[in-house]
Amino acid sequence: MTTVVIADDHALFRDGVREILEAHDDIAVVGEAATGDEAVAQAVRNQPDVVLLDVEMPGMEALDTVVAIGQLSPSTRVIILSMYDGPEVLRRLIGAGSRGYLLKSVNRQELVGALRSVVGDDERIVLAVSREGLSLMHRPVGQDPLSSRELELLRLVAAAMSNSQIAKRLDITVPTVKRHLRNIFVKLGAVSRLDAVNRAVDCGLLPAKRSHGRS
């Protein structure tokens, strides 16, 4: 029996994945998580064969979650679920020990097949990404600079503004904000809003926060 933990902050998505997996007699869902920290706790508690991990959840970032699961539950394979397939994100998460990276547009046969593949072969890594994402995996990071609009939006993210606040400030829709964020994540190889800001600072695209401590 293959045991699985589903980690995604959308309950409806978790319910759908559970229904797909439990339609198979050889697969059992033994836990669910809505944050990165909960995913690690579930992995430690249940020692599942696989954790299906959403790339962007509240709490611990995906990269740290993958590393923590690898340290605390070494026999657990992590398969990433994502809405986007930026090449640097792929490189970082696979490099951290993920055994698979699937776009959420995969069908149920691809999901179950990927799960069985990584359980059945200790060396196998499963990718279900776009042709463009795969072809860009060897492209140097930072080759695509952020547009002026993306930089403007990222400055607002750095100011801790929500998507709805950013949309109001820039006079655009929330879906447009999310689209810009996805493009930013791909270009910077980021896996979250905080990661994108930190990487932009490291690249000199955003100024570093000044310390306000007294000298």
Q: Where are the domains of the chain?
A: 2-137, 148-202
Note the pLDDT tens digit of each residue in 84-129.
766 667 777 887 889 999 988 899 999 999 999 999 887 788 887 6
pTM of the model: 0.65
Q: What own/partner pairs with CB < 8 Å and gap ≥ 24 does 16-22 have?
A: 17/52, 17/111, 20/108, 20/111, 20/112, 21/111, 21/112, 21/115
Is 3.40.50.2300 the CATH classification of the domain at 2-137? yes
In this model, does residue 161 exceed pLDDT 90? Answer: yes
192: Cα separation from own chain's centroid: 8
Question: Looking at the predicted structure, is the pLDDT value of residue 40 above 70?
Answer: yes
pLDDT at 190: 77
- Give every CB contact of residue 191 below 8 A, 6+ residues apart in sequence: 55, 56, 61, 62, 63, 89, 92, 93, 185
Averaged pLDDT, 33-49: 96
User: Residue 132's pLDDT is what?
Assistant: 56
Give the architecture (CATH level 2) of 148-202. Orthogonal Bundle (1.10)
**pLDDT at 211 exceeding the cut of 80:** no
Q: Is the pLDDT higher at 43 or at 190? A: 43
Reported confidence tier of residue 58, pLDDT bands at 50, 70, 90: confident
